[in-house]
Amino acid sequence: MIITREHRTKPYPLGVRAVGDGLEVAVYSETADAVDLCVFDSSGNETAHRLPERSGHVFHGRVDGLGVGTRYGLRVEGAWDPANGLRHNAHKLLLDPYATAIEGEFNWDEAVFSHRFDAPDEMNPTDSAPFVPRCVVTDQSFDWGDDTAPLTPLDETVVYETHVKGFTKTHPDVPEELRGTYAGLAHPAAVQYLVDLGVTAVELIPVQQFAQDSHLLENGLRNYWGYNTYAFFAPNADYSASGDGGQQVVEFKQMVKTLHAAGLEVILDVVYNHTAEGNHLGPTISFKGIDNGAYYRLVDEDRSSYFDTTGTGNSLNVSHPAALGLIMDSLRYWVTEMHVDGFRFDLATTLTRQAGEAEVHSAFLDLIHQDPVLAPVKMIAEPWDTQGYQVGGFPADWSEWNGKFRDDLRDFWGGADSRIGGVSQRILGSPDVYEASRRSPLCSVNFITAHDGFTLADLTSYAHKHNAANGEDNEDGESDNRSTNSGAEGPTEEPAVIERRNRMRRNFLATLLLSAGVPMILGGDEIARTQGGNNNAYCQDNEISWYDWSNADDELRRFTADLVALRRAEPALRPDWYRAAASQEPDDATTSTVDLLRSDGNPFSDTDWDDPSARSIMFVFAHRDRDAFALLLNAAENGVEFTVPAAPDRDWELVVSSDPEQTVVTPVTTLIVRDGSFTLLRSRQGEA
């Protein structure tokens, strides 16, 4: 290609995009000697186009006569020197890090690896093109119409963590050809279910294009969760009902538009901490062959090895502008082009490690804070990685998965000692975690269960994990899940065991939905979805993980929906800031208050919080000019008599209880709450 001034291109934006009657291409690499855009015709024939220009560390150029729908990859020439972190190998067809659609899957032949299996330091000269997917140039135009982001305030937000495929794969009211897809999630039956449940946001576990692990495929399994990303701009094509040649982009956008029209936000669970290329023995599919040291953290003393804080073999090099730029560009793309409303960052602590230690003022966090596109959207951290636990360590405008909420509530309802102090902190929005740094309860995303671990039904049914189907001799997954199982293990017909399980499930859902913070429901918990005791179903893309709609617990679903509706309607149950004691007059109309009382109606003393026998507590929530509520929790093995304070307005009335036989006689002065149960009372606003 002869470059004249009118053909000169810019080194940005990175990636491949259709402009006029050609493609403009830009690829970042500090260490490459040359970069080729390799185009494939319908017969699979390859034509290489050398990028003629280089500005700084960006190779760029234009190829005329090509446009939307072009299938392509990259080949990068440069040094092969693993000891110094260089893994260039032009025999490998590489995926564009900025590709917006991927067609096809990997065939894990040795050709996909830059090294030889029998000699990892030696270059593998076999062409990988026959064994890897293709990037697709997409048309980003889409009729968004009057699409408007719901912008649900955090204090009104109820998150529903779910899986695009699993949610509708067996749904009887979704057409079979749409089940398990973006279009299936956007089907009226699926949308109406979410609306009726009352949640305000769906948090989708990974939908960015991810790789199927070779060892799983060899064992007849598949990566179901998707925490193995390799294309951060591309929606996973496996969830597309309309094809993988770019149609998946349109289908994803239509799903977002449909969910927005129903008032539902879309939050993506994103995996920017590592990629599917693994460690030094992993495949070369993109970043390794483009610029290994720019995109990955390498071990200073041995640059053939990868610094790993994710447990997957590699970690993104967030101290380097190329890796940071990739993450930021990807986030902006999903907001501006795909209209998503927020992100949950897998192992987010890894992204804050620039020189090894987690930093609250890391470049990653600072860039998001000042970015006008990203600053307004919801940012949720999984605040830990394999090297540290950072709950409470993120900036004030971030929310965090609060693992302490999960652990303390499981311990409380499971009967562990000395948990009254912990459970009170969690229900009040974890002030012990957030108040010192002047952070709101809304920084706490509360959850009892998540995709990683037992479902709620299994938490209350199994004392031990049952992961044999994963093929790892039941040694995978967490061994201590703080199970609250009592009685028979697994399915049972014993009425007493069934009744206790039902109460425990309602206890968990109620304390989740009646606590300060942002509640997150694991999708399917509201219908008692079971995985048969499997607490690590990452590789179970089958009936173990899919929602079993034919056995849905409709009573539990209605119970959950009623609690969600109550929470959303009553500001006393969803405070956006910490509360003073109810005896103190709220200073404005937005302030909620709380009293914490022992079962005898008296305040707790300092020694009460440490009493290992304490198993009961009462919360009285109020909000100016609105109804007040009394939440009575009894985790003891016996019934407890509560002395209920005088109703602030009209007499206390029963709202809901996990004990189906709970009754009240007005005026309420005392109330017996049976073993392992909760009861919620209400004093309606108005004269007593």
Active-site annotation, residues: 346, 382
CA separation for the pair 216, 539 (Å, rounded): 7
d(CA 629, CA 651): 11
Instruction: Report the amino acid identity of residue 98.
Output: Y
Question: From CA 106, how far away is CA 63, in angstroms rounded?
Answer: 27
Query: Could you report how far apart the first and last alpha carbons of the chain are, in Å?
Result: 86
CA-only gyration radius of the chain, Å: 27
* Phi and psi angles of residue 431, each rounded to the nearest 5 degrees, phi first: -60, -25
3-state SS record for 149-176: CCCCCHHHCCEEEECHHHHHCCCCCCCH
C-alpha pair distances (Å), 174 with each of 77, 179, 182, 191, 203 = 49, 6, 12, 11, 20
How do beta strands 298-299 and 378-381 pair? unpaired
Q: Report the SS3 class of residue 224.
A: coil
**DSSP states along 557-615:** HHHHHHHHHHHHH-GGGS-SS----TTSPPSSTT-EEEEEE-TTSPBPPTTGGG-TT--
**Distance (Å, rounded) from C-alpha 138 to C-alpha 129?**
21
Q: What is the DSSP letter of 547?
A: -
- Nearest of 404, 441, 438, 427 to residue 597 by alpha carbon: 427
Nearest of 667, 669, 671, 643 to residue 659 by alpha carbon: 671
Cα separation, 604 vs 597, whole angstroms: 6
Q: How many C-beta atoms surround the C-beta of residue 367 within 10 A? A: 16
Q: What is the DSSP string of 39-81?
A: EE-TT--EEEEE--EEETTEEEEEEET--TT-EEEEEEEE-EE
Asked if residue 596 lies in contact with residue 586, where contact means CB atoms within 8 angstroms, the answer is no
Residue 324 carries which DSSP code? Answer: H
Residue 587 half-sphere exposure, CB side, CA atoms within 13 Å?
4
- Look-up of token digits 């440490």: 610
Measured between alpha carbons, how far is 62 from 52 in angstroms, rounded to an integer?
A: 9
Q: Which pair of tokens denotes residue 397?
A: 């405008």
How far is CA 560 from its chain centroid?
A: 21
Helix (H) or strand (E) holding 523: none
